[in-house]
Structure 1
């Protein structure tokens, strides 16, 4: 529009021909055509039938780009109307309205989500989320159980759990199915302790969607806070009205067609909900236009009655995905991002790692911020006071720091009472204490009034000390109050209780062990370590006696073990007291350990009930349990099996060797594995007389469970009849079993012969097979090792003889044979058997790496043939010729092979009458070639001091350390000391 009073129209019109070249005009023309074509392609995709996906708009479009796209759509709508294509017109118009609505929502959510207030209230300076965001560790799992454990203990337990056992999930992938999961995900519940990062994960998810970076197949995302939904009270709304209430940008857009689109509702902070979510009794509502109270709308939305196509994400403190917060590398990453002075950052990281409780709490991002706030000030200012080492000290310094900041602000506010700080802190402590007892962690105006706190004073205080107590404005600008973190609330509540109800009365002697341990945590926070140091002194001196320990000392012992710097990876009861009573007393330590070694501890069946409670507990970190050589009997093992059925039980290794098990307990064990088949990987029932029937039940279970190692049949009284069943079980369908031990069972040729076709069966995945002392002969040695997956085979103490050796070696010659370890001790082999072995090693030199031929009779010919092959660059690394009637002359034959062997690292010639002459010949071979021996065993070989001199002269020249066994020889103490003085010789006595 031009005014008639303007002189603009008197100017000559702009002459494009004069100002622009033909090339520029052509470029302009081409760009316009390209833009229009691109937009028309989008419009064409919209007009195609069965539209289910939203078209993607470029992120961060400016105003002119948006207007240009809108103009293209309007032109197309005009043309469609002229063409009288009403259906296409309606479809494009609907899309245009949805797109416009979506862009408004994205713009609004981007403005809400792009900044984060790290531990401080919204009056302070915000930081860009994309700049400081550290990807949190979110894991899949959980079954929606109620956890009654304190959250700090949950954080501690999470720190014990190996991360490798869990599937990490990025927040943008929260609705994507994991590998192997085909069922679409409709609802996700993420849980994690307060401050762990649940809300930040939601904020990042929303921001990435709003910026067009992720989940662009989603049409609408509606994030809602429970703390704001609480403010609505009993007012009734339709689902459409509820959405309009919080997202006014889309008001006017009809949500009645939401089922056609992909929509995500995010409900953040279920633990803060004060609405009566009664899933059983709330009325059914399936119409989004039907008015109802907010709790009715939520229960029907969650159950899928209302808008069943919508995706739901709910976050809560106390389930399918769990926010683990920062892992250890991410803790360090946070401090280095937060603190620009890297030397100071490294000092803070070192200090946090030196305190176990503080470093565990650093899983929580907001605690990292509190620690950085306190330590950065203390270390930068060079304060002489002691640096905090406990949670209590850290929060006390944080409170002092914030109070000092408030006093600086107070200088400009002379009308305020100087005692406002102390009085308000104590008033807030009272508020927190009373509300925590009710289970509330956020507060509204009515809560403050109920506790006698003036809302105006609370508002002033929150303005002065924003980093402790926040005041937020929710729906209708109603005030919501909260603290920087739940643990700080608990600190204030404890401070209030301490100041008002302090007592010198000693705690009752009848406290449960868990309560007593909590008292030690309190003493630790108060830096009172006297009783703990007393117990540590006893432990280090080895003078700890179970009979003289008081209840307090038992609790102190548990506390010491739980908080040990050595960690809770392995708990070994054998190092303490071997009894049921000790196991009961140390129950919390076992519960916190990953591996529990309780073998040979004189445990009886009553201990199994205590262990069952550990395996059934949640969370449960115990993965390996060794109960071998305890008289548990059938009853004890049955009570243990009840825990193995629990979904909380994640035990991977169970050892019950020599525990008095029989048929009934094995039956209970099989039933337990059937109900929870996926976790147990290794089972040892050796030396239990379970018999054929029980062995058959167990073997029948193997193909359908996760067992990989089975030593259940070692000396278990099974016979050849079970071998047929075993062969069928391992070959009928793919099986995970990798290690099987059938040693010390009388299988005879008939039983072992049934395995001839098993190993080559494609369903059989055995990699280690032991048949030691199974009473078979050379007739059963055709095991079919070709084309098998077997890597280790033990046939020791069977009547293999040279003929059986020939059958085995024919298989070993085949390049498809992958055998790496072979034990043939005490198999009545002579020089002929050794000849077959040499031929096989020559044909397949890259195969065997470990070979045990002890207690056989090779003779000079056999030794010569074996060591001749070793000169030909075989892969053999370990060779055992213990008790093979070797003589000094044979050492000369062996020396020639050793002089040129590149791979042999361990040689065992013990219990042979080699004498000094034989060792001298061996040393000639060792010093003449490239053999770098790492272990040489010459125990009981008739040696004297002369052999020490020979060995020292050769082995001391090696660049690597060597283990030397000269036990049970006539070696003087002086020569032993001489060998010990040589740095690279590790002498075994």
Structure 2
């Protein structure tokens, strides 16, 4: 189960998250979103064929894909960016620019006066080292009054490269979203050189997933979030090695009792079977929590029992990810019973928990009452064709209410990795 993103309205920041299409006012060769906002990208940019009028009007500039290499740099730095006076969003993803080519682009953003209204910078699947991030620091500082979203994902950054960015972030008082996911940084985030409370009070989303951390880093991270932790709505700490001590530190430093927190991803951590007390407290004391992902932790049956007690009282919790948590049959059944009594949970991940054929009927319909979920993930469990009738009976009880069961990595996958509630298999 993967934490999904929500769609955004036309005035939301970030053209990269808004579908672009050739609508009635489309410009040949240029993406135009449903609100008529122009994005400088695609074939028109690659062919050096942008109209001056469109450059001046565009709010987004995207270089996405390996077709963008150093051959485009001269055109971008001389004819595009210096004249793009309305730019709000810049995205660079999976390009073939050399370090020198990328630095030339960043130099223009830093030096040219028209690029001073940026609200989003997004870099992913590119190499950002200190020479590039020190340039980006100046770009961010120049736009700090407007900056709302910064994304540096899978950029091969280490702590030295991240330090200039972290320093700049502390001055962006309007910043709402930050992602440093899929890098190799910890110290720069948790023990910054410039100030301890790095992240501004306006921050709503923090993603530092897939950065290796130790217990000491989580105490530093809680201090770095001091100004915003009680108002954060989404926190992604998956694959960071989060321990019970680390989670306890975050909770005690402002996360516990947060009425703002809606999404928490702490999957692929180092939580053990003693973490149930903390997790149940989190669910109870964060009344607006909607999505909780705890997959790939050694939760076990005892913690599942603790969590199951508080699930029915979590009135906003709609997604619960407990895949590969060593629940076994007993733990999975306890969670299923709690979800049956929940008025809000619609997606449940019990993948990889050693659920067997004989457990399926009790998990899908504990006490004879079918779970009211639209998605049930039973992937990577030792299920065979013997459980098919129980699964179909559950789907039949759902009636016309949509429901999908995910069966990847099971003995039922031969026909299809899914079953849906018309009792047919779905490819």
- Fold match (TM-score > 0.5): yes
Q: Are 2:351 and 1:910 aligned?
A: yes
Question: Shift of residue 904 of structure 1?
Answer: 1.0
1:832 is paired with a residue whose SS is coil
Q: Determine which of 275, 287, 294 is the counterpart of 1:853.
A: 294
Q: Which position in structure 1 is the counterpart of 2:198?
A: 730
Contact 1:899 1:927 survives alignment (8 Å): no
Residue 959 (structure 1) shift? 4.4
**Residue 895 of structure 1, aligned match among 336, 359, 364:** 336
Deviation track 1:692-728 (CA, whole Å, cap 9, x = no partner) reads 5553333333343454333358525563697142543
Deviation at 1:853? Answer: 1.8
Trace 1:527-926 onto structure 2 (pairs within 5 A): 559=28, 573=42, 583-585=46-48, 587-588=50-51, 591=55, 595=60, 597-612=62-77, 613-617=79-83, 620=86, 622-641=87-106, 642-643=108-109, 645-649=111-115, 650-688=117-155, 692=159, 694-705=161-172, 706-711=174-179, 715=183, 719=187, 723-725=191-193, 727-728=195-196, 730=198, 736-743=202-209, 748-760=214-226, 764-765=227-228, 788-798=230-240, 800-805=242-247, 814-816=256-258, 818-842=260-284, 844=285, 846-925=287-366
Instruction: Encode CA deviations 1:510-561: one digit per residue, 9 max, x unaligned.
Output: xxxxxxxxxxxxxxxxxxxxxxxxxxxxxxxxxxxxxxxxxxxxxxxx8365
The structural deviation recorded for 1:792 is 3.0
Question: Structure 2 vs 1, CA of residues 673 and 889 (structure 1 numbering), >3 Å: closer, same or farther?
Answer: closer
Evaluate the alpha carbon distance shift between residue 658 and residue 917 of structure 1 in structure 2; reply closer, same or farther with a 3 A threshold: same
What is the CA–CA distance in structure 2 between the aligned matches of 1:878 and 1:163, rounded to whole Å? 28
SS of aligned partner of 2:90: strand
1:599, distance to aligned residue in structure 2 (A): 2.7
Distance 1:899 1:644, change over 3 A: same
| SS of residue paired to 1:654 | strand
Aligned to 2:379: 939
Give the direction of change, closer, same or farther, for the CA distance of 1:920–1:729 in structure 2 (3 Å limit): closer
- CA 873–715 in structure 1, closer or farther in 2 if over 3 Å, else same: closer
- The answer as to whether partners of 1:848 and 1:875 remain within 8 angstroms in 2 is yes
Contact 2:333–2:363 (CA<8 Å) still a contact in 1? yes
Work out whether residues 912 and 941 of structure 1, in 8 Å CA contact, stay in contact via their aligned partners in 2.
yes
For residues 237-386 of structure 1, what are the structure 2 equivalents within 5 Å? 356=24
Query: Would you say the 8 A contact 2:73–2:101 is kept in 1?
Result: yes
Q: Which moved more, 1:590-599 or 1:895-904?
A: 590-599
In 2: Cα distance, 1:897 partner to 1:801 partner: 25
Structure 1 gaps, min length 5:
1-161, 166-354, 361-557, 767-787
Q: Distance in 2 between matches of 1:971 and 1:940?
A: 10
Q: Sort the Cα spacing of 1:593 and 1:965 in 2 relative to 1 into closer, same or farther, 3 A.
A: farther
Alignment size in residue pairs = 402
Compared CA separation, residues 849 and 980, structure 1 to 2 (3 A): closer
**What is the TM-score of this pair, normalised by structure 2?**
0.75
Q: How many angstroms does 1:735 deviate by?
A: 5.5
The change in CA–CA distance for 1:940 and 1:595 in structure 2 (over 3 A counts) is: farther
Contact kept? 2:197, 2:223, Cα under 8 Å: no
Quickly say closer, same or farther: Cα 1:897–1:976, change in 2 above 3 A: same
Note the C-alpha offset of 1:880: 1.0
CA contact (8 A) 1:899 1:926 kept: no
Q: Secondary structure at the match of 1:943?
A: coil
The aligned residue for residue 5 of structure 2 is none
For the residues of structure 2 that align with 1:821 and 1:700, how far apart are their CA atoms?
Answer: 26
Inter-partner Cα distance in structure 2 for 1:697 and 1:752: 21
| Per-residue deviation, 1:907 | 0.5
Alpha-carbon spacing, 1:683–1:608, altered in 2? closer, same or farther (3 Å): farther
What SS class does the counterpart of residue 264 from structure 2 fall into?
Answer: strand
Larger radius of gyration: 1
Q: Note the residue ranges of structure 2 that are not aligned, 5 or more in a row.
A: 1-9, 14-22
Contact preservation (8 Å) 1:652, 1:679: yes
| Counterpart contact for 2:283–2:310, Cα < 8 Å | yes
Output one character per residue of 1:334-374: Cα deviation in whole Å (capped at 9) or x when no partner: xxxxxxxxxxxxxxxxxxxxx957xx9xxxxxxxxxxxxxx
Q: Which has the higher helix share?
A: 1
Aligned pair in 2 of structure 1 residues 584, 750: CA closer, same or farther (>3 Å)?
same
- Cα distance change on mapping 1:922 and 1:662 into 2, 3 Å: same
Q: Answer whether contact 1:631 1:660 (CA < 8 A) is retained.
A: no
Alpha-carbon distance in 1 for matches of 2:254, 2:197:
26
Q: Which whole-Å CA distance do the structure 2 matches of 1:747 and 1:891 have between them?
A: 30
Q: CA–CA distance in 2 between the matches of 1:845 and 1:754?
A: 22
Distance 1:885 1:651, change over 3 A: same
State the secondary structure of the residue aligned to 1:907: strand
Q: Cα RMSD between the aligned structures?
A: 4.2
Q: Deviations over 1:775-815 (max 9, x none)?
A: xxxxxxxxxxxxx2233334444554445555556678954
CA contact (8 A) 1:719 1:745 kept: no
Cα pair distance change 1:704/1:805, threshold 3 Å: closer
Q: Are residues 593 and 882 of structure 1, via their aligned partners in 2, closer, same or farther at CA, if it must alter by over 3 Å? A: farther
1:638–1:668 contact (8 Å) kept in structure 2: yes
Structure with more contact order per residue of length (Cα contacts < 8 Å, sep ≥ 6): 2
Q: Is the 8 A contact 2:272 2:299 kept in 1?
A: yes
Conserved 8 A contact 1:714-1:741: no
Q: Could you say what secondary structure the match of 1:598 adopts? A: strand
Q: CA offset at residue 571 of structure 1?
A: 7.3
Q: Could you say if the C-alpha distance between residues 755 and 677 of structure 1 is closer, same or farther in structure 2, counting changes exceeding 3 Å?
A: closer
CA distance in 1, matches of 2:222, 2:33: 52
Q: How does 1:196-211 map to 2 (within 5 A)?
A: none
1:677 and 1:882 map into 2 onto residues whose CA distance is 40
Aligned equivalents of 1:740, 1:163: Cα separation in 2: 21
The 3 A distance-change label for structure 1 pair 585 and 948 is farther
Q: Secondary structure at the match of 1:638?
A: helix
How many Å apart are 1:908 and its aligned residue?
0.8
Alpha-carbon spacing, 1:924–1:570, altered in 2? closer, same or farther (3 Å): farther
Cα separation, partners in 2 of 1:918 and 1:624, compared to 1, 3 Å:
farther
